[in-house]
Structures are given as C-alpha cells and as structure tokens.
Structure 1
C-alpha cells in the first residue's frame, strides 16, 4: 500500500517555457510526506499540537525523467523505503497518467520540539505502521 497525494500543476509552478520549475518537486515531496503521515493516522499538525513532534528534513533528492506541464494531473505515490531508530527515508514517485515523471526521496528525523529540538526513537506503534508500508511495497 502506498499513500497517494494528488495535485494539478498550476501556472505559477511553471517557468517561461511552461515546464514545472524544479524546486516545486521538493515542495510537493514535502506535501506528500505530510499526506503520508495523515494516511497512517498521524497528521503532522496533530503530532505537533499534542506531542510537540515534528519530522524535519535531513536530506532530499529528486531525479527528473519527463517534464510536467501546466494543468497536468499528477499523483505522488509515497512509501517508507528505509526505517531506522530515529530516522526514516520516504520515497516519492511522481506519476502522470501511466508514466513516471520523477522519483525522489526525503530523509527525515523523528524529533521532539518540547525543548531544544532533539531526535528521538520513532514510537513502536508508528514504526509498525511504517513497516507495513515497507513490507507491502517490497512484497
């Protein structure tokens, strides 16, 4: 099972040639990560409001395969590719129709903001939900 985040490319997302300007892919990966957390039952806003937990970005990468254009309908399929004690790597695949437009990932740390920001172990309940995602994708 993968979480899916859908959007339509807006005019402001494109450059003068009408092709999506590359930083937007990183914005959409961020949006897709928050959609993923909500899909497994842990919306970012709720995590922060109730537990002062966030998932700051440590690393991001994106490989562009086909251009996206104004008004394209896009699905970002996201799943946890690697799961460590305090850090997880979430993969994002941008799909337009039946073609992959781009693939990227983010590495994020499970972080408490109760005092000074500090990474902490991902709770077992959340880890189990993320592992289900990993097993489904690989299996």
Structure 2
C-alpha cells in the first residue's frame, strides 16, 4: 500500500533559523499515514467511528539529510513496509524535487477502543492483504 502526500512548508513550520523545526517531520509522517489509509478506502475517522479502531504509535524514527525552508514544496512518499498480526510499519521518504531530504518510519498497532482499555487486535485479513500490496 503506497501513497504520495504533497505539502508546502509554511512559515509556522520553521524555527528561528528559518528551517523546518524537526518535530514537524513527525507530524507530517502522521498526516501522511492518515492520507495513505484514506487514499486506500480506509479513512481513519471512519475506522474509529464505525469500527472502534485506531492505530497508535509504538515507535518512530526520522533521519534528516537536507534542510527545508518556508515555501518549499515537498512530497511524502509513504508505504506500508511490514505487516504482522497486530502491528504494521510505514516507511516515509520526504522528497524535494528528486532529492530525498529526510526519511523515517512509524510502527503502529491495530488497536480496538471498544472496551474499557485500548487493546491491540489482529489486523483483518482483507486489510492485511491491502497493506501488503505493492504497486
């Protein structure tokens, strides 16, 4: 499962030095994961409202290769890389033109919030198959 999420760096994304403040890459990875699922017919809001499913972060990582500044236009290329019974990993590559400026990943758990406590549950077979598709 893949998706490309375009975005433009805003003034508020930058720090005093005029470059993107690093936590924004994590925010963009989160947004990009939501866009990835939505583009594949699994809107996060619908999963939560209708299925009591969320996918909280278990682990995240990002490495930075070049700075971004106000008004840079970038694309976040996101792809599900690993799928286990209850956990999946999404890789993200940040492109400015043809150059990779950052890359990272998120590990998330397919989690039910139907009970008193959130609990990781098995990813449904049809969703798992969708996640494992390579385009």
TM bucket, shorter chain = over 0.9
| 1:62 Cα offset (Å) | 0.1
| 1:16 Cα offset (Å) | 1.1
Q: Could you give the per-residue CA deviations for residues 73-129 of structure 1, whole angstroms, max 9, x where no partner exists?
A: 010000011110000000000000110010000000000000110000000111011
| 1:17 Cα offset (Å) | 1.2
Distance 1:81 1:52 in 2: 24
Distance 1:112 1:123 in 2: 12
Aligned to 1:63: 63
Aligned to 2:91: 91
Residue segments in structure 2 that go unaligned for 5+ positions in a row:
none
Tell me the number of residue pairs that the alignment of Structure 1 and Structure 2 aligns: 134
1:97-116 matched pairs, under 5 angstroms: 97-115=97-115, 116=117
What is the root-mean-square deviation of aligned Cα atoms in Å? 0.9
User: Where is the helix percentage greater, Structure 1 or Structure 2?
Assistant: 1
Aligned to 2:129: 128
| Matched position secondary structure for 2:69 | coil
1:71-82 matched pairs, under 5 angstroms: 71-82=71-82
Distance 1:129 1:41 in 2: 10
Aligned to 1:118: 119
TM-score, normalised with respect to structure 2:
0.97
TM-score, normalised with respect to structure 1:
0.94
Residue segments in structure 1 that go unaligned for 5+ positions in a row:
none
Distance 1:124 1:103 in 2: 29
| Matched position secondary structure for 2:107 | strand
Distance 2:123 2:100 in 1: 31
Aligned to 1:31: 31
